Every structure is written in C-alpha cells, then in structure tokens.
A and B are shown apart, each in its own frame.
Chain A
C-alpha cells in the first residue's frame, strides 16, 4: 500500500510543481520588449547551469584533467553520436528499444488496468485475485532474469515479459485505488439519475479514477525504462543496452555515455508524452486549470 501513498504524494507534488512554474510566459507574448526579455530569461533559467557544466566538462577534458578513457569530452560524444546516426545503427537501436518499451507497457498496462478495474468494481474478483497479485508483487521482477533467459533465451519475449511484469503493478495498484476511492456520493447520484451500469462506469467511475491511473502510469514509465535497460544489457542482440555493452567490449567509452544520454532522452520523451495526455484528459482538474490562463 505504500506505493499508493507514495503515488498520492507524487501527484500532489506534480500539482504543486505545476503551480510553482512560471507559467505567465504564455500569456505575456503581447507585452513590451522588456517583459518579453524577462519571460525569455524565466524560460531559459533552468538551462544555464547544465550549459555551464557542459562547457566546464569540455574545458577540463581538453586540458587533460578528465582522461578520455574515463569520460570523453562532450564534443567526442557528439561525434560518436553523429557517426552512429550516419551509419543508421543508432536510430535502429533506438527504434528497437522504444518498440520493446512500449510493447511491454501496453501488455502490462492493459492487464494491470483490467485487473485494477475488475477488482475495484467487484468484491468477488478482489477476494479471489488480490492476494495472489500482491504475493507476486513481492518478488523483484528483475530477479527473474535468469529464469526468463532459461524460458525465452534472449528473444523479444524475454524483454516483453519483464517490462510487462514490471509495469503491471504500479498500474494495477493505482487503478484499483482510483476506482475504489471514486466519490460514493457521485455514484449514488448517477444511480438516482438513472444511469445504466455502463454509463455509470464511463461517466463517473472511470473519469474519477483517471488521476490515480495517471500516477500509476508515471511510475510505470520509470520502471519500464529501468527494466529495459537491465534486460537489454544482460540479454539482447539489439537495442540501446546491447549497443552500450558492445561498446564496452571495445572500450568505446564515448558510445557508452551516448547510450546513457539517449536513455535519459527517451525517458524524458515518455514523460512529456504522459504530461500531454494528462493535460488533455484532466482538463477539468483544478490543478490543470491554472495552466490554461
């Protein structure tokens, strides 16, 4: 249950962070130049420190303080990236990894959602399945890697299985929590106003559970990348993790760092995607209304 609590806290933190952000930016584009400059400053402020760090890193590498076999210079990584991009190897590996990640998310997510909804709605279903699911949850899914390799070898099924298993629980638990905590007064209202069970689910229960489901999705995304990195590093013949492991064999530190950075980039992309989805689906939520003027 601690995951649920953490989830609730996370969603509160997300909401808080949104408020704290300087969001007057959008509104003020018609203002005079001085204000526009201030807006630009507010937008770029967060990037100043990373940029300075990269410059410092490059400088320290050039004067030889950081050895290239420990951490290559940013320019060297960029060159490695460019080369990998030109050969098509990078894009192919990125594509393979992304596909794996989202296939696993889809399979695990749909199953988690289905169990969460079923167990949230039906006492009977919960009695019979919840204990089992909670028991499986206590097994760290990455501990299954040796077994999974025995079962599936290093084929796609292995990665799909691990990612799906990893994302299942956060989505299951948060969906269950969301469905069970929908305001009973609203459900009663829906019944009194003659909604059919299906309408009640579509218009009251599902939208009511949605904020919680999104919390589950955010957790799931983190677990998704983590699982995939580990799985690809240990058991794969393509993908970013494999690319990094190959590079290690040949002591290509720049490619290793490149792979790590691209993982970060993909993680960020998935986060942006969720945020976009969340904003579309939760427009009604006061935490999101402040954004739109």
Chain B
C-alpha cells in the first residue's frame, strides 16, 4: 500500500512545494441564511493543516452549506473564514456527490479539467495519466464516462479534484451513491491518497461509521451549531467493527438523537 510513488513526484518544483502541505482553515462565528431561513447559526471550527475532518449531521442540517462556504462557492451571511496562507483557485477543490464528469469528453480530458491553465500541451496529458494511474484507472483514459461504473466515475472525479495538487479538498458525500463494497474500497483509496498528499480534508458524510473509519476528527452539526467535536485517535488503517469505533459511534448517535 505505502510502496506507491508519491502522486506528483515528477512535477515541477512549485507543485512539489505546494502539494504536500495542507491548508489550515479557521471558521469563526460563521452564519448563513437562505432568505429568511437561517441554516447555520454560529459555527466555530479550527482545522489545522493536513487534518482529516469529517462532518456529520442530520439531513438538511447545513453540511453542504458549510462545505460550500469553506470551498468558496458561496459567501457567508455572517462571520468569517480564514486560511493559513493564500488560497488561489486551484488550491481548493470540491468533490460532489455526483461525479459531474463531462459526458462528451473522454476520461483523460475530464481529469485535465482539474489541471491549472498554466500546465500546457503534452504535459497536461502526462500529468492527467499519472493521476489516473493513482486512482487505478490508467487503462480507462480513452473511454467515455458513460461506459464506466458508478464507482469508477467517482474515481475519475477524485482524480480530477487531485489534479491541481489542492491544499484543501472538500468532499460532499462523495460515496453516498455507491454500493457498500465499492464504498469500502473507495474509502481505502481516499485514505491512502490523503496520507500521501497530506491536504486538509473536509469530508461530509451521513454515514457515521464512514466518518469514524476515515477522520482524525468528527464534527457533528446540529441546529446550526457544532454539537460535538470528537477526536478519533485510533491507528490507521482502522479495523471496521472494532469495539473502540463502536463506542465512538454510540456517542455520536446519542448526541445526534438526544437533541
């Protein structure tokens, strides 16, 4: 597993300097409303560089809203979000629940969508191929997205998100639509790539056990606030169904349903 070569080992020095470092995120007094409807009240969250944070909560509690604000897709109604250092366009990437691949472009071209415009010509193909190999789809570069399975499409989307060597990667339930076995496989892939690249990961999921399998820290959102902020200090790779994980899962679910 760990014998894999680093993803961007043969990239230019600037990418090397940037890629392995996560981006620290500081969310202070963050609130957000849609019209009269207040979705987030007051979120406080400090995420150190390179941490893997899972965000859980009931459906409609504002997880996606929070993620979109942090990723810069929307601007918050109140409060602020600060980053440790500059946050240029390619430094933050988001992966959606749907793969959102361009059906009219082949897999390789779809991955190239994620590359910064500064990468030109042949180099684009080379890099996209390298990243595609990393997610295990090297042989599908010339296929149309429509012939791939759901899990494979989501892997292409992951490759596209990774292509620019982001320092912050936001996941919005990226595995939510996959079957159980493909999910477990994808969780392994996400964990492995995060360990190699050390970007800051913000991972929204409705599956508490998934959050516990992957994250350094699980944040529970409820009624517009952080209801629980739980460090998961268990060694990786974590064994599914272990007593420690079960105990943590119990705590999270208790908090979730006691409110």
Contact = CB atoms under 8 A, between A and B. Distances in A.
Interface string B69-84: 0010100000000000
The residue among A192, A194, A286 with the most chain B CB atoms within 10 A of its own CB is: A192
B94 interface: yes
A284 interface: yes
A289 interface: yes
A284 B94 CA distance: 25
Given A193-B113, A193-B114, A194-B89, A185 B104 contact: no
Contacts of B93: 192-193
B105 A185 contact: no
Contact of B96 (A185, A194, A195, A283): A185
A203 interface: yes
Given A194-B117, A207-B104, A284 B98 contact: no
A189 interface: yes
Interface residues of A, number: 20
A189 B104 contact: no
Interface string B84-120: 0000011001101010101111100000011011000
Contacts of A164: none
A204 B160 CA distance: 16
A186 interface: yes
Contacts of A190: 113
A41 B7 CA distance: 55
A189 B98 CA distance: 10
A210 B104 CA distance: 10
Interface string A206-222: 01101000000000000
Contacts of A186: 100, 102
B128 to A, nearest CB: 13
A286 B144 CA distance: 9
A189 B146 contact: no
B102 A194 contact: no
B147 interface: yes
B96 A189 contact: yes
Contacts of B113: 189-190, 193, 195, 203
Nearest to B72: A192
B90 A284 contact: no
A271 to B, nearest CB: 23
B146 A286 contact: yes
A284 B144 contact: yes
Interface in B150-165: 160
A204 B146 contact: no
Interface string A93-118: 00000000000000000000000000
A203 B109 CA distance: 11
Interface string B18-52: 00000000000000000000000000000000000
A189 B100 contact: yes
The residue among B106, B144, B160 with the most chain A CB atoms within 10 A of its own CB is: B144
Nearest to B114: A193
Contacts of B94: 192
A204 B102 contact: yes
Nearest to A195: B113
A108 to B, nearest CB: 26
Interface in B121-141: none
B96 to A, nearest CB: 7
Interface in A66-113: none
A122 to B, nearest CB: 23
Given A194-B117, A284-B105, A284-B144, 17 more contacts: A186-B102, A189-B100, A190-B113, A192-B71, A193-B113, A194-B89, A194-B90, A195-B113, A203-B102, A203-B105, A203-B113, A207-B105, A284-B106, A284-B145, A285-B146, A286-B146, A289-B144
14 contacts: A186-B100, A190-B113, A192-B93, A193-B93, A194-B89, A194-B116, A194-B117, A195-B113, A203-B113, A207-B105, A284-B103, A284-B104, A286-B146, A289-B144
Interface of B: 71, 73, 89-90, 93-94, 96, 98, 100, 102-106, 113-114, 116-117, 144-147, 160
